Chains A and B, each alone.
Chain A
């Protein structure tokens, strides 16, 4: 496989693989490192890949499992915030999650910041209002709008995927 094709694979699957690994590892940097290493190995060894996509998912999964085993984790399975999910589920979700991630990327920066302070960092509306010098109403409004636009986006994503 030529380097240029690997570059294409990288562009196409890198983000999705990171999110896939994240379901196993729960740590973004670690997941990204794992995917980077997989691509580095592919570049170095240039293995025969009849189905590059499944080859990449398999090698990322194997690396995750090896790492988790070496840490003597009791149960090795992908999960989201709430519960364990199947490996297949993690693969399917990662594809949608990449698009959601990109949707968060494209939010107006201020609105995104408020959304993350609330949903990611768990700050109360009143704390965010004080921190940012805004009224609590403005904070609530902005976060509500951010979530609305992500919901709309996710509808588009679903329609898009079902049309494929």
Chain B
């Protein structure tokens, strides 16, 4: 019985998360509606773009390397080890594994949910950085030569050429182009995985933060008139909406002017 108790304790500790049972039926049902909507949209988009190749699998038995590529919709792939990766459009990934470890080379941005296997660490090589995984869910983003990592659950070790940092859930770190070690930064945007969820969701978020996120996502520069600077915003927008439409909605709701540069 004693040994059995140890096994049960081990099982509980392995899966333990604080507050994991919180949130009733109501809250969860609502959550699911929001999540399911963009999937439906992607299906519609996929049907419309039927002629476009969405996902390329190149299987090379000799080296047992797998390649995945997302062209114009996010792609969710299950790796042979059971890990789930969602690739942002434009991202590509090469995966190989051996009995000593699992290796991923990433170009672009992807969200990882890594299957736990203590004997075979999971490493993501992105630009000049390496992310070594000790826990489960994180995103690696590459833009303008910088690599940033957002951790949503568990822990990861994020290293540059010289030194690294251990990140836990809710933390973000950036390796600037040319830097030898990553820096821990304030989480920059409220919706780092909007490209996958399909939604920008704001709850009392400052307008500055909202516009910074939208500017980053759409590659434009949205600037508010001075009276908008200390305003906050609550609401949701779909990413495939025209950015001008989103910005118009915001400016008429808050009665301010937003200009596009």
Contacts and interface: CB of A to CB of B under 8 A. Distances in A.
Given A39-B25, A121-B154, A116 B8 contact: no
Given A80-B7, A81-B7, A115 B25 contact: no
Interface string A14-56: 1100110011000010001100100110010000000000000
Interface stretch (B10-18, B39-47, B87-95, B104-112): B10-18
Interface of A is mostly: helix
A120 B16 contact: yes
Contacts of B134: 121-123
Contacts of A125: none
Given A28-B20, A32-B20, A80-B7, A43 B25 contact: yes
A29 B13 CA distance: 15
Interface residues of A, number: 39
Contact of A120 (B14, B24, B32, B166): B14
A36 B28 contact: yes
Given A81-B7, A100-B8, A100-B12, A158 B1 contact: yes
Interface in B193-252: none
A4 interface: no
Contacts, number: 78
B25 A36 contact: yes
A63 interface: no
Contacts of A100: 8-9, 12
A121 B136 CA distance: 9
Most interface-central of A23, A43, A123 (chain B CB within 10 A): A123
A18 B11 CA distance: 13
B155 interface: yes
Interface in A97-123: 97, 100-101, 104-105, 112, 115-117, 119-123
A158 B135 contact: no
Nearest to B20: A28
Given A100-B12, A101-B16, A119-B10, 9 more contacts: A28-B20, A32-B28, A33-B32, A36-B28, A43-B25, A81-B10, A96-B5, A112-B18, A122-B134
Interface of B: 1, 5, 7-18, 20-21, 24-25, 28-29, 32, 118, 134-135, 154-155, 166
